Structure 1
Amino acid sequence: MLLIFIGMLLALLAWVLSVGIEHPQVLPPSRTLISKADIEMEGFTLKQIRNGAVEWDIKAERAELFEDRKEVLLHEMQATLQTAEGLQVSFSGDQGLLNTGTHDFEIKKNDGDLDVSMNNGFTIRTPSLSWKDQEREIVSLEPVQITAQRLRIRGNQLVVKLENQQFTVNGDVHVTAEP
């Protein structure tokens, strides 16, 4: 009787493996964590250095590397971006995703907004943002609020070109300036 039961279990397992089980995907295919990480680590730090200067620095309490997808899933991360002109941009979030091929990364908070601090006096608040390394741009496709001394700007999307500190806010833009 036990052999028949084991045989039926093996047959069922073989059928499931041959047919497959479909699961709805919540994230796009590159973001779905179907497989186990190739490497998991505590205390992750990565710096990008170009021409002898640190361009950006990422730290995370925990990281999971998926080599085949060229992605690192980051938990409790902090990042600092720097330009040759001295602009420094710092932010932290609950989760991040780094593409090891392009050096682009995304960061988000699970609750509330990211606080993005810039040493030029601007602060940005948004639920998530992306760093586009090739373009050297910060992008948010979600509602944003930018504040500086006596200035507040709100909109639905943001692109910041770091090299020339150019801000582009799109979608339902509101500007409040105090005298």
Structure 2
Amino acid sequence: MGENFEPLPVMSISNKKKVLYPLIGALVCSLIGVGIYFYISATLNTPLTIRDIDMDSGAALKLNLLEQVSKKNGITEWKLKASSATLLKEENRAILKDVDVIFYTRENTKIYLTSDEGILNTQTHDMSFLKNVIVRHETYTLRTDQLHYDKKPHIIRSDVHVTLEDRESIIEADSMVTQLNQNKTILKGHVKGKFSEKFNIP
């Protein structure tokens, strides 16, 4: 006496899709969720690095390169470059290293200044230059230990010993002022030196 078996129902293709797609969707969502979790964890645990800017405990930030241009009434007064600039908190000052400045006179004559260090007032744009200060004019070279730039009158001045020289002459003084708009240099205090007929101080 044989037993009767009913055949198992065959799942149609459409039913397979109805079951398979939700499973695949759930698996993809799970993988995406795991990926997002590890990405957020890695981001939160890794310090944020910004190129060319370093945070400093005694300063707002430190720039590895500073370039700045100052204009007045559309006319360029100076262009500044420094290899680094440390912006001090609440002091409105930037401490500069390896300073290179081009000053412009009213006639657009260029006067070049370099120094090992500098200080820029970020509000007034007055500047001080320290250590190995060299100013190169069309007709002479000036050397001093300290030099200051006052933006409002557009002058550079030194209150310490200065030396001006060209190939044939050398002049020393206790202080000097260069009025950039007038392209005029004034020497004061124990002015002495070796002069040649060709030596020209504007």
TM bucket, shorter chain: 0.7 to 0.9
* Distance apart, 1:47 and its partner CA: 0.6
Q: Does 1:88 align with 2:110?
A: yes
C-alpha distance in structure 1 between counterparts of 2:179 and 2:61, whole Å: 33
Match for residue 117 of structure 1 among 136, 139, 143: 136
Q: Aligned residue for 2:12?
A: none
Shift >3 Å, 4+ stretches:
148-151
Find out whether 1:105 has 2:123 as its counterpart: no
1:43 corresponding residue in structure 2:
65
Q: Which runs of 5+ in 2 are unaligned?
A: 1-56, 198-202
1:61 corresponds in structure 2 to 83
Question: 3-state SS of the aligned residue for 2:59?
Answer: coil
Deviation at 1:76, TM superposition (A): 1.1
Deviates more, 1:150-159 or 1:68-77: 150-159
Answer yes or no: is the 8 Å Cα contact 2:84–2:97 preserved in 1. yes
Partners of 2:130 and 2:145 within 8 A in 1:
yes
Q: Does 2:98 match 1:76?
A: yes
Opposite residue 143 of structure 2, the aligned amino acid is: R
2:148 match: 130
User: Given residue 116 of structure 1, which amino acid in structure 2 is its aligned partner?
Assistant: V
- Taking only aligned residues, the RMSD between alpha carbons, in angstroms, comes to 1.7
Percent identity for Structure 1 against Structure 2: 25
Q: What is the deviation of 1:148? A: 4.0
Cα deviation for residue 151 of structure 1 reads 3.9
Name the SS of the counterpart of 2:153 in structure 1: coil
Q: Is the 8 A contact 2:105 2:183 kept in 1?
A: no
Name structure 1 gaps, 5 residues minimum. Answer: 1-34
Counterpart CA distance in 2 for 1:149 and 1:167 is 19
Check conservation: 2:163, 2:171, Cα contact below 8 A.
Answer: yes
Match of 2:177 in 1: 159
Q: In structure 1, how many angstroms separate the alpha carbons of the residues matched to 2:159 and 2:173?
A: 10
Structure index of larger Rg:
2
What is the aligned residue count?
A: 141
For residue 147 of structure 1, the aligned residue among 162, 165, 185 is 165
The structure with more strand, counted as a fraction of residues: 1
